[in-house]
Each structure stands twice: as structure tokens, then as C-alpha cells.
Structure 1
Amino acid sequence: MTAETYAGLTQLGHASPRPASPDEAILEAVPNPQAGHPYLVRFTCPEFTSLCPVTGQPDFAHLVIDYVPDRLLVESKSLKLYLHAFRGHAGFHEACTVGIARRLVEVLAPVWLRIGGYWYPRGGIPIDVFYQTGPAPEGVWLPDQGVPPYRGRG
């Protein structure tokens, strides 16, 4: 890959403010240099935040995004800015988690994608949200997401 491969990126290598909303965030993709060789890519965001759409209070989650790329990879700085755009976004846990997955699928057209949204308790109840595009591809190593179930203070 040459520098020209990455010439169209608008955020990498540039000062990039946090987008005002997830809808305004630009998710960028780059060519997969290992296309045709199935492998898993994992992004872990242990400090994801959004807002409750009813109370406006902050909600916190540990997100784990796994995908098997096809022709494109998500550019990681653009993913980070996209996820940070949720800090001012009001949405239920399910809408945020599944919405992130669907946006990644739209941009990347991966072979396969799954997301685990492990939300911290509000009102004493943790909510975990899981989404995947279909059965996992055969022959690709899929490690456990490594997030233990919520156990409180015990």
C-alpha cells in the first residue's frame, strides 16, 4: 500500500474535533491488505458513554466489536470519533448498540460482525445487548469477548 491509498482520509493525521452527533460522524474505511484471508478484528471500548433519552443522565457501557473484514477495514481514528459522538447522544442501550453495528455494516460490508454492549446498571439493572450479522464464519478464531457478567460489589 502506498501513501496514495490513504490520501482520501479526512481525519487521520489531522486535528479532528468530536462530532456533534453519531449521524454527523464520518466513518472512514481503508483497503484491507489481507483481503481473501479471513481473520478477526476486535475493538474494545471500555468507557463508552451516551445519554438516557428520558432523564438525560449518562449511561456507561463496555463495548466489544468483532468483525471479519472483506475488502475494507474501518479506520480506527474515525471509529473512535464516531463512538465519542455518542457522549451527547440520547438513546436507549439497544438503539445505541445495534445502531453502531448497523452503521459499521453499512460502511464496511464485512464478512461478519458482532457487537457486545455490556451496559452498567441504572436503577440496579445492568442491560447487555448483543447483535451479530449471522453465523460466524467457519475457520476464524472467535475468542470470548472477555467481559464477565455484572456481579455488583460481591
Structure 2
Amino acid sequence: MSYSPAQRSPLSETENQEHSTESKYGERLIAEGTLITFPNPRIGRRYEIHITLPEFTCKCPFSGYPDFATIHLTYVPNQRVVELKALKLYINNYRDRYISHEESVNQILDDFIAACDPLEIRIKGDFLPRGNVHTVIEVNHHKEA
């Protein structure tokens, strides 16, 4: 059976209202999202991990308009590695936050360092143009010897 958005929902009006106000499991997981790590399987071997997160969103703290970016994360692990599903949930937590481009990229760096203490990390936020302005924010951290 096909269903087009123009048709009425198969749920009753009461069921529709209850369904729209209850917290969805994905929203709960995102709200609880923290960076989880696991032991580096190759301690002592220097290697880079490259992660691209192409669906980053947050809200402009001044206008409330949505901002969209691709986050590029490259790090050299130390003792711990970040678990990817946890990273996805953590990043999705920004979608309703009023936060500047600069602060969001710097906060991601701070939280990543706190979670896994990498030897090196580079995070780049490549924000889609808005109002004819294209912004790229890049932050780096190197563990002191």
C-alpha cells in the first residue's frame, strides 16, 4: 500500500498527538551521547585515523538559522581510540545548539582531547556558505612530550 504525505496519517488524531510528543529513541540516544573510547589495538605504532562527518548541523547563536558543515577529524591515537557510533551521536547533539562556527569546532576538539588524549589531532569545520560567506575553521593539538 502506498502512502503520500498529502493523505491523512493512518494513526488517529489522538495517536498522532501522542506519537509526536513522545521522545524518540534516536533523540534519547543523541541527548545522552558522550564520546566512548576503547583501547588502541596498536599502542606504540604511529598511525592516523581520518573521519569525515558530512552532516554536522548547529544553529547560529545570533539569528537562529541552521548552519551546516562537514567536519574533518584526523588524529594519531595514544592509549585510546574513539568509538564511531558514539562519535556520531555526540556530533548529532549539536543540531539544536546555538553555537558559533568557531566555538563548535573548538568544543569538539576539547571534548575529543578529554575523551581519548590523542598524540595529535586536527579538526576542520567546513561550513556551507550562507549569505555569500564561506567559513572554514581549523584547530590543531599536539600532545606535549
TM-score in terms of structure 2 length: 0.76
Match of 2:30 among 12, 19, 43: 19
Equivalent residue, structure 1, for 2:17: none
**1:124 alignment partner AA:** N
Equivalent residue, structure 2, for 1:109: 117
Native 8 Å contact 1:117 1:130 kept in 2: yes
Equivalent residue, structure 1, for 2:47: 39
More helix per residue: 1 or 2? 2
Secondary structure in 2 matching 1:35 = coil
Q: How does 1:2-151 map to 2 (within 5 A)?
A: 17-20=28-31, 25-134=33-142
Alpha-carbon distance in structure 2 between the residues aligned to 1:72 and 1:129: 25
Native 8 Å contact 1:66 1:113 kept in 2: yes
Runs of 4+ in 1 over 6 A off after TM superposition: none
**1:114 alignment partner AA:** R
Q: What do you get for the CA RMSD once the two structures are aligned?
A: 1.6
More strand per residue: 1 or 2? 2
Alpha-carbon distance in structure 1 between the residues aligned to 2:85 and 2:53: 13
Alpha-carbon distance in structure 2 between the residues aligned to 1:58 and 1:88: 9
Q: Deviations over 1:37-64 (max 9, x none)?
A: 0100011011111111111111000110
The unaligned stretches of length 5 or more in structure 1 are 1-14, 136-154
Native 8 Å contact 2:119 2:142 kept in 1: no
Alpha-carbon distance in structure 2 between the residues aligned to 1:115 and 1:27: 15
TM-score in terms of structure 1 length: 0.72
Secondary structure in 1 matching 2:30 = coil
**1:76 alignment partner AA:** L
Q: Work out which of the two has the higher radius of gyration on C-alpha atoms and give 1 or 2.
A: 2
